[in-house]
Amino acid sequence: MDASGTLPAISVFGLGYVGSISAACFAARGHRVVGVDVDPRKLELLRRGLPPVIEAGLTELVRDAVTSGLLSVTDSATEAVLDSDVSLVCVATPSLPGGGLSTAYLEAVTTQIGAVLAAKAGWHTVVYRSTMLPGTCEGRLIPLLEQLSGKQVGVDFGVCVNPEFLREGTSVQDFSAPPKTVVGQTEERSAALVVGLYDGIPGPRFVVPIGVAEMAKYVDNCFHALKVDFANEIGAICAALGLDSHEVMDVFLSDTKLNLSAAYLRPGFAFGGSCLPKDVRALAHTARQHDVEVPVLANILASNEAHLRRALDSILALGKRKVGLFGLSFKSGTDDLRESPMVELAERLIGKGCDVLIHDENVALSRLTGSNKAHIDDRLPHLAEHLARDRDAVAQHGEVLVVAAGDDATVAAVERAPVGTVVLDLVHVPRLRAARAGNQYLGLSW
């Protein structure tokens, strides 16, 4: 709503699934909406008050919006842009034969809008709802808008990315009660306008850089796909073992502390320990014994290994020989070294000729027993030569400091390291990122 209390007028480019839902729902919220499409069949249906797609609750919304005069349609981009304050781009981004993303429709609509902006006086905001890979908006679409309009984004017009989170079958409900609202911004004016379109709609709101907004949709969809495949593979193994897979998953789904939660979903270092690697191995082996194909489960350890190699390659690429490691156990607060990725990383660095010094507050050779001691005797038989009880000794030793422990004492020691020391952060310690500015700080995957 602007200063006069008037709701922004909206043009919606692309009247397929996302576009028709967005157009009807914004009209139902009181916005004057004009829909734009090149398909005369869609335009004719909407002029008659009929939706171009089948979706629960949409027929009534379209009928009421058209009857009230809040929703109209046209095939003229010029008419739509000149008669609106905000343009929502909701065109398809289909797959190319090789798996890449086609931006042909995005670029075609952007070309139309850019040409109209050249002649339009006053501010206009272009909002991309289409799913597109990070870099598409800033790398292709904004330059196209600027080139064709002769104007500058953030100065003469605004651009935002506002991904949709609509599920077919419940999209009208999802519009009114989304899991979240995400707005990728180029500047605050347009971001405030787009966020304001959702006034009164519940759920968390995120105003983020454009690339983050573009990526958010892909993270969601890939995780949803992963969940489906995971559940189906578990089901296939259960069926082969004569177990009720739904009963098994009822137990799994009851855990909202670790399973259905934010636990384990922050980028960090590889997993290890006495449970996860062996249990993934065992279940994948059981599947093979019963001729059950489980490509997701079978590749979990391969993915974990690839992540460990990223850390190793990041260190070796620096060309520095002296390395300090903070943390050796498979996670902070324990002395368990079994299948610790830090032990593996240390072993590989030593094998590559690096001079490695290690500090772990909880690891002392004199206290290691049983399988824990057996594992370290096998993997790092000369560990005593590489352990240091003093954090500062490690911080002063390493030309590269690898941080897998984020406790205050460790961070303070790293902060005391000589200028020029490179820090590779495996656990995301914001304080370190701020302290080691520029090329003296590397995040493993951030």
272 labeled binding residue: yes
Report the alpha-carbon distance of residue 106 to residue 91 in Å, rounded.
6
Is 180 marked as a binding-site residue? no
Helix (H) or strand (E) holding 36, with range, is: strand 33-36
Ligand-binding site membership of 360 (annotated): no
Pairing of strands 355-359, 125-128: unpaired
Q: CA-to-CA distance for 361 and 329, rounded, in angstroms?
A: 10
- Determine if residue 166 is labeled as part of a ligand binding site: yes
Q: Is 367 annotated as a binding residue?
A: no
Task: Clarify whether 222 is annotated catalytic.
Answer: no
- The annotation status of 378 as a binding-site residue, yes or no, is no
Helix %, strand %, coil % of the chain (to 5) = 45, 15, 40
> What is the spatial distance between Cα 81 and Cα 277, in angstroms, rounded to a whole number?
56
Residue 217 annotated as binding site = yes
Q: State how far the Cα of 325 lies from the Cα of 388, in Å rounded to an integer.
A: 10
For residue 100, count other CB atoms closer than 10 A to its CB. 9
16 dihedral zone (left: phi>0; alpha: psi -120 to 50; beta): beta
> In angstroms, what CA-CA distances link 305 with 311, 342, 362?
10, 12, 25
Confirm whether residue 37 is marked as ligand binding. Answer: yes
Q: What are phi and psi of 267, to 5 degrees?
A: -55, 135
> Which entry of 90, 222, 238, 275 is annotated as an active-site residue?
275
Q: According to the annotation, is 93 in a ligand binding site?
A: yes
* Under 8 Å between Cβ of 160 and 127: yes
Residues 398, 394: Cα–Cα separation, whole Å: 6
d(CA 77, CA 85): 13
What one-character DSSP code corresponds to residue 365? Answer: G
Q: Is residue 338 a known part of a binding site?
A: yes
Q: Is position 322 annotated in a ligand binding site?
A: no
Annotation-wise, does 42 bind a ligand?
Answer: yes
**Residue type present at position 396:** Q
Q: How far apart are CA 338 and CA 275, in angstroms?
A: 9
* 337 contacts 329 by C-beta, under 8 angstroms: yes
In the block, tokens 């077919």 appear at 168
User: What are the residue ranges of helices labelled H in 352-440?
Assistant: 370-379, 391-397, 408-415, 430-435
Q: Which residues contact 321 (CB under 8 A, 6 or more apart)?
A: 353, 354, 355, 399
Residue 331 labeled ligand binder: yes
Active site residues: 275
Binding residues: 37, 42, 93, 131, 165-168, 217, 264-268, 272, 278, 331, 338
Binding residues for NAD(+): 37, 42, 93, 131, 168, 278, 338
